[in-house]
Structure 1
Amino acid sequence: MIQNTTFTEQKISRGQLTSGIIQNCHFLRCRFDQADLSECQFMHCSFYDDQQRTGCSFQGANIKETCFSHCDLTMADFRNTEALGCEMLECKGQGADFRGASFMNRLTSRSFFCSASLTKNNFSYANFQNVVLEKCQLTGNRWSEANILGANFSGSDMSESEFGHIEWSSANFTHCDLTHSDLGDLNLRKVNLDGVKIDSWQQTQLLEKLGIIVVNA
């Protein structure tokens, strides 16, 4: 176990932290690029430099089955990571970049499945452009101002989440569980909600935006 340690501008080598437990550590402007972090557990760690407003880079890293719990991942660069089975719980992920991250296991050229548990995180202003997160556990997240252009969340549990100021029509939300969520400015006219699960009170709010008044008999 590694704990209560500060790392500054270090390049974490491939395999250096494999299957390790890292707790209460602070990483300042560190690079985890191409590193094998599979099955590591980061608990109460910070990867953000408050003074320089800079996050750490994980470009191309292996974060399969890696767990980030109660971590500060603000402005972290997760581009092109291998992220199947990755878990993020109650993390700060404002402005994090997930473009090119792969949460999928491709079985054939036409079939695949995804696995990820990203719950109760703040993903405000994060970049999920073209990311595929089908049938994943995505509950309790804040997605305000996130870039979801071309993202595929089909079949995922996104309940108890906050969706303020996002381009609903730019992503695939079909068959998602959106119950107990703040749906922001979702427009029924522009978004494909095939198979989506919502609460009765959400239905009332959405219909009122269309000028339809729902009366309880």
Structure 2
Amino acid sequence: MNLSEFLLHYKNGQRNFIGLDLDDHDFHALDLSDAVFEECYFHSTSWVGSNLQNTRFKNCSLKCADFRNTNLTNAAIQDCLVDSIAFNGAITKDFVFSGNDFYGATVDQKDFEETFKDEDRK
């Protein structure tokens, strides 16, 4: 599925996506709330300014993803690859970050609050 097809499926009400491969795409300022992504590849993607409220990423590869200034209220990133990920300015009320792989180390909510939350790799 390419980006246009994905956005059409989302617009038509689909919220669960498994195995998407949308590396190097721009999701800037989109409303993708309530989506569930499992085993998806989002390397070098930009989610800047998007609404990802209630969105779940499970077993995804988010290497070099940019979530700066994104609404992640009640969202979750779990069991994902999170190397070189940025969150500076993101809204993270009730955000869950657990079991993620960061350069071979497992990182959790405490690591998010202490290190990742203000990360701005740009």
CA contact (8 A) 2:87 2:116 kept: no
**Structure 1 residue 116: Cα displacement:** 1.2
Alignment partner for residue 29 of structure 2, among 28, 31, 34? Answer: 34
Equivalent residue in structure 2 for 1:118, among 97, 104, 111: 97
Structure 1 150/100 Cα, relative in aligned 2: closer, same or farther at 3 Å? closer
Q: Which amino acid aligns with 1:92?
A: L
CA contact (8 A) 1:10 1:29 kept: no
- Give me the whole-angstrom Cα distance separating, in 1, the residues matched to 2:12 and 2:67: 17
Q: Distance in 2 between matches of 1:65 and 1:150?
A: 18
Give the distance between the partners of 2:20 and 2:31, measured in 1 at CA. Answer: 18
Tell me how far 1:138 sits from its aligned partner: 1.5
Q: How does 1:148-159 map to 2 (within 5 A)?
A: 148=115
Partner of 2:58: 69
Q: Does 1:89 align with 2:56?
A: no
Structure 1 stretches lacking a partner, 5+ long: 49-54, 104-113, 125-136, 152-217
CA distance in 1 between counterparts of 2:4 and 2:102 reads: 25
Looking at structure 2, the residues matched to 85 and 148 of structure 1 have their Cα atoms a distance apart, in angstroms, of: 19
User: Normalization by structure 1: what TM-score?
Assistant: 0.45
For the pair shown, which has the larger CA radius of gyration, 1 or 2?
1
* 1:60 has 2:49 as partner: yes
Moved over 6 A (4+): 8-11
Counterpart residue number, 2:89: 100
User: Quick check: 1:79–1:101 contact (8 Å CA) kept in 2?
Assistant: yes
Higher helix share: 2
Q: 1:100 to 1:8 in 2, by over 3 A?
A: same
Q: Deviations over 1:165-193 (max 9, x none)?
A: xxxxxxxxxxxxxxxxxxxxxxxxxxxxx
Q: What TM-score, normalized to structure 2?
A: 0.76
Give the 5 Å matches for 1:203-214.
Answer: none
Aligned length: 112
The amino acid of 1:59's aligned partner reads: V
Alignment gaps of 5+ in structure 2: none
Are 1:138 and 2:109 counterparts? yes
Confirm or deny: 8 A CA contact 1:9 1:29 kept in the other structure: no
- What is the CA deviation profile of residues 46-84 of structure 1, one whole-angstrom value per residue up to 9, with x for unaligned ones? 012xxxxxx111010001110000000000010100111
